Structure 1
Amino acid sequence: MRTPRPCGVCGAAGAAKYRCPRCAAAYCSVPCCRTHKVPLCSPAGGAWSVEDILREGEEQDRVPLQKLQLLAEAEELRGLLLNPHLRQLLLTIDQAEDKSSLMKKYMQEPLFVEFADCCLRIVEPPEKENILPE
């Protein structure tokens, strides 16, 4: 795992764990995020490419491409995505500025919880217990 970059706001060495979703600037904490957003944030020059995302070694929540492929192939997930209400929820999250708080709100929606649980079961299947045969 690569060492995190310095924070783009406070300059703390090796502390940048997060990226601004709008401009991709690195920062280390909520206070630095808020400081960054007020005067500094402007949209990045272009959309992030797959290569940009793959080069980012700092993100601990990144899902490997093999597991993303499993999501694409999952019939259960495809079935859920046929629901127009779920598709609208996902579109609203994608277009929102504050995706995190909107996702927290939507985690009260049973349909969204079912979708999130389905995704997690695919990318993080439960560990099989060591059960001895009888």
Structure 2
Amino acid sequence: MRGPRPCGVCGAAGAAKYRCPRCAAAYCSVPCCRTHRERCTPEPKRERAAAGRAPPGGQHAGESEELRDLLLNPHLRQLLLTVDQAEDKSSLMKKYMQEPLFVEFADCCLRIVEPPEKENILPE
């Protein structure tokens, strides 16, 4: 597992706990976040589009109102942060799959990746 990275703004070794949602740059604090935000240049749209391409007939995660609504829940956000920062993500995921809110989130994500109307159809 990778350890903490150096902050991309101030350079503090092993201090970067956060990532920019636009470009994935690592930073360590609110002041560094603000500084980074002023200079942030997200990756070009065509590269992002290829990386986040939805399956045929599916939708992008950013288009899902259901997912957006779930992500507004502070409890779910805390669960996701805890998983992201955990050393043993696998056992924590097993534990969280007993949480109805987390299961709802996982199901929502799976419906975006593999829409239900397509999951039981055999290829011709």
Q: How does 1:100-119 map to 2 (within 5 A)?
A: 100-119=90-109
In 2, Cα distance between equivalents of 1:73 and 1:82: 15
Match of 1:81 in 2: 71
Match of 1:67 in 2: 54
Give per-residue Cα distances to partners, 1:26-68, cap 9 Å, x unaligned. Answer: xxxxxxxxxxxxxxxxx49779x98xxxxxxxxxxxxx52139
Q: Tell me the secondary structure at the aligned position of residue 67 of structure 1.
A: coil
Unaligned stretches of 5+ in structure 2? 7-15, 17-22, 25-50
1:100 Cα offset (Å): 1.0
Change (3 A) 1:129 1:92: closer
Aligned pairs (5 A) from 1:89-104: 89-104=79-94
Q: Tell me how far apart the structure 2 counterparts of residues 79 and 116 of structure 1 sit (CA, whole Å).
A: 13
User: RMSD between aligned alpha carbons?
Assistant: 2.9
* Corresponding residue pairs, total: 76
| Structure 2: distance between partners of 1:67 and 1:98 | 29
Instruction: Tell me the amino acid that sits aligned with residue 123 of structure 1.
Output: V
AA at the equivalent of 1:110: P
Question: Map of 1:1-134 to 2, 5 A cutoff?
Answer: 21-22=1-2, 43=3, 65-67=52-54, 70-126=60-116, 127=118
Which secondary structure state, in structure 1, belongs to the residue aligned with residue 115 of structure 2? coil
**Alignment deviations for residues 90-126 of structure 1 (CA, whole Å, 9 cap, x no partner):** 0100110111110110000000000000000001112
Distance 2:91 2:71 in 1: 22
In structure 1, distance between residues paired with 2:89 and 2:72: 22
Change (3 A) 1:129 1:100: closer
Bigger Rg, structure 1 or 2: 1
1:123 and 1:105 map into 2 onto residues whose CA distance is 23
Q: CA deviation at 1:129?
A: 6.4
* Identity over aligned pairs, percent: 71
